[in-house]
Homo-oligomer: A and B are copies of this chain.
Amino acid sequence: MALIVQKYGGTSVGTVARIKRVAKRLAMLKDRGDDLVVVVSAMGHTTDKLLDLAHKLNPLPAERDYDMLLSTGEQVSIALLSMALHAMGYKSIALTGAQAGIQTDSTHAKATITNINTRSLRKYLKEGNIVIVAGFQGVDKENQITTLGRGGSDTTAVALAAALKADWCAILTDVDGVYTCDPRMVPEAQKLDEISYDEMLELASLGAKVLHPRSVQVAKEYGVTLHVRSSFNMKPGTLVKEVKDLENIRIVSGVACDKDAAKVTLMAVPDKPGVAATIFSALGDAAINVDMIIQNINRGQTNDITFTVDESDLDKTVDAVKKLKKTLNFKGVVTDNNTAKVSIVGAGMFSHPGTAARMFRCLGDAGVNIQMISTSEIKVSCLIERKLAAKAVKALHKEFELEQS
């Protein structure tokens, strides 16, 4: 008998039939004697529909309103899943983020979980309930509803698993596990049986949409074993955990692609100490995640500063940097939302010098121009033209022999 946290994404609860299937799967586990906490996302395209309504009313809605609106999506899912379980004769209780004791800071739309008060959760589990928790949401100290931003439901699930000391946390999704590459881009992509937290973290950060990097970070920090698997079949998926067997580590585990990267260049920024700090503090204050940053020396006493953000943050980013124009006296802002980031990830990379060079050569041979480069110990990322992304990913997947299982 185990305590398991399971998370079902929007596709897995996208229709009445799929909610019924999830309920059956939970019933099976419950019959086996497991204690279950289930985190669900909003049904299919609910969030998109709500955002569409919102943007028709206000192109830049206040984030408190945004959270108030979006948090309803998960609330619908938990109520419906609980109804399905009741119809099958199982005890269950549906809880909003607030009711589940998920406390966050007050950064609306991108809140961070600060604490989970597990008292209610434990009580409901003890009473024999399958406990269903709305993903993606929490409540701040002022009782304001917050949402956790992208991939928030994964983070909810992992944080609950950590707080409840669950045996593991299963992330049920619409793919069979973590692949060497997105199978829609490279049909030869192979499923990985296991992967280390660090590799998963890089892959997740780099646009492999299976898991959100924040959730992997929390899992790593609290040692929560993740099991990424399909909600549509019973095949074993990919285990994400501390991988100790260093000798057997692959040089490159996967190729990732983020097609939502947007590039912003501040032209001719005066070359003075503190300028970069001013720019990126302002973006931080606006809760914008900056990814790659490069600074080119320009003629004279100025630099061009280029960085990338998620395309959805582009308008907000331009607003934020334009406010700095008077203070910093730069020449102008140029944006490009026609870029993509391709990356190779592998824990064995640091012991194999020349891996980055091999990547650059491969891209050059494929006729792909590299606009920006960023590296860490276990990954190399290149920003390229968006329409060349698929070509680049295929070439890299082949170069590093990932189609061989």
Interface residues as binary, A133-175 with B (CB distance below 8 Å gives 1, 0 otherwise): 0000000000111000000000000000000000000000000
| A68 nearest CB across to chain B (Å) | 4
Q: Judging by beta carbons under 8 Å apart, are B20 and A57 in contact?
A: yes
Using a CB-CB cutoff of 8 Å, which residues 75-117 of chain A contact chain B? 75-76, 78-80, 82-84, 86-87, 93-94, 96, 98-99
CA distance A78 to B80 in the complex (A): 22
List of B residues within 8 angstroms of A79 by Cβ: 54, 65-66, 68-69, 72
The verdict on A286 contacting chain B, using a C-beta distance below 8 Å, is: no
List of B residues within 8 angstroms of A145 by Cβ: 96
The complex is assembled from copies of this chain, and their number is 2
CA distance A339 to B59 in the complex (A): 50
The verdict on A50 contacting chain B, using a C-beta distance below 8 Å, is: yes
The verdict on A246 contacting chain B, using a C-beta distance below 8 Å, is: no
Q: Judging by beta carbons under 8 Å apart, are B83 and A16 in contact?
A: no
The verdict on A257 contacting chain B, using a C-beta distance below 8 Å, is: no
Given known contacts A96-B145, A99-B143, A69 and B76 CB-to-CB distance under 8 angstroms: yes
The verdict on A183 contacting chain B, using a C-beta distance below 8 Å, is: no
| A17 nearest CB across to chain B (Å) | 9
Which residues does A use to contact B, with CB under 8 Å? 16, 19-20, 50, 53-54, 56-59, 61-62, 64-66, 68-69, 71-72, 75-76, 78-80, 82-84, 86-87, 93-94, 96, 98-99, 143-145
Q: Closest 4 CB pairs between A and B?
A: A69-B79, A72-B72, A58-B83, A68-B79
